[in-house]
Chain A
Amino acid sequence: GAVVSQHPSWVICKSGTSVKIECRSLDFQATTMFWYRQFPKQSLMLMATSNEGSKATYEQGVEKDKFLINHASLTLSTLTVTSAHPEDSSFYICSAVGGHFSWSPLHFGNGTRLTVT
């Protein structure tokens, strides 16, 4: 089945630094990747949608200059949290879908738990 790998699984950083999270599709070409954020005891909220080779589409209220998304290849998308602050501490999880639109389920990475001190 489709496998999505996300790295790192957890990271602690100091306030003001930047953190990069990678999302890779291991056995399929991901034309579209989605980045979600989940605060404790809450649901997954979509942050942005990235298509290979084009700019990401951000959801309303998500700062595109703070959360930089790069989808440079069909197997890799990265999310960079720039100048991180404690309020950015959250669980970030990516998902990917390949090919043309279909009803196949999105496959998720295992998530990255970010703690900003």
Chain B
Amino acid sequence: AQKITQTQPGMFVQEKEAVTLDCTYDTSDPSYGLFWYKQPSSGEMIFLIYQGSYDQQNATEGRYSLNFQKARKSANLVISASQLGDSAMYFCAMRELTGTASKLTFGTGTRLQVTL
């Protein structure tokens, strides 16, 4: 089974609007971390936001917020006031406490295109 599922291969959003990128995950581990990364066309992976499985509040970082619904095993990324520079691939990822070296498992990504 897929550990991280991103069902939106591509999304469009108008500049200054908000957009939600979906992510669902699958784990039996009670302790885990969820991450979102941005990958522009140049290739580097830029860390955006993190949510721990025991965190009571949804994480926020500037224009990024994470809508964490633990019972549904979803961790959607919300980008407010989209900017042209937000156009990129976005990856949801999970680290689990068990297993070897806490590796990061990625979803298939969502390509976001911000339009004028």
Interface residues of A (CB under 8 A from B): 32, 34, 42-46, 49, 51, 57, 91, 93, 95, 97, 101, 103, 105-111, 113
Contacts and interface: CB of A to CB of B under 8 A. Distances in A.
B43 A32 contact: no
B50 A103 contact: yes
Interface in B87-116: 91, 95, 97, 100-109
Contact of B45 (A46, A49, A93): A93
Q: Is the interface of A mostly helix, strand, loop or mixed?
A: strand
B91 A46 contact: no
B52 A43 contact: no
Contact of B33 (A34, A51, A103, A108): A103
Contacts of B33: 103
Which of under 10, 10 to 19, 20 to 34, or 35 or more describes the interface residues of B?
Answer: 20 to 34
Contact of B105 (A46, A93, A103, A105): A46
Given A49-B103, A103-B52, A110-B42, 7 more contacts: A32-B101, A43-B108, A44-B91, A57-B100, A93-B45, A103-B33, A106-B95
B101 A91 contact: no
